[in-house]
Amino acid sequence: MGRLEYSFMDKLNSIFELREMLRQLERDVGFEDLTRVERDVLLAAHSLCEKPGDVIRSEQIRGHALLQYVAQATLYRAIRRLLSAGLLERAGDSKARAYVVRSDLVGVDLSDR
């Protein structure tokens, strides 16, 4: 096997190992029941918050790099699912699409909610 092929195989192995570690971490925090898009929406929303309780708008979430290829309908379906799971909540009494990330519930069994 040539040096270039070996280097490529090493990189593929590293990517695989990272993916496996990420999957385990996602299981550890209770993300196994979320779809990839739901996880990405939650992570994008969280990354937009500077501190717990910050309000984020759907336009901010939609503009996040993790979600640039997600169709708008899919994005809003994921937001609705995260709202029903309690991982996102509507901000205050606002009818606008503004949310708060419930980071305190990550890793908590949400099946009773």
Instruction: Tell me the pLDDT tens digit for each residue of 42-73.
Output: 999 999 988 888 899 999 999 999 999 999 99
pTM value surpassing 0.75: yes
Residues 73 and 44 in one domain: yes
The partner residues of 55 in beta bridges, in order of sequence, read 100
| Kind and range of the H or E run holding 20 | helix 3-28
- Is residue 113 domain-resident? no
Residues 82 and 67 in one domain: yes
Place of tokens 């990517």: 15
- Is residue 112 domain-resident? no
**Length in residues, the chain:** 113
Give the residues of the chain that fall short of pLDDT 50.
107-108, 110-113
Range of the domain at 23: 1-32
Interacting residues of 64 by C-beta distance below 8 A, sequence separation 6+ = 44, 47, 48
3-state secondary structure 36-67: HHHHHHHHHHHHCCCCCCCEEEHHHHHCCHHH
What is the number of structural domains in the chain?
Answer: 2
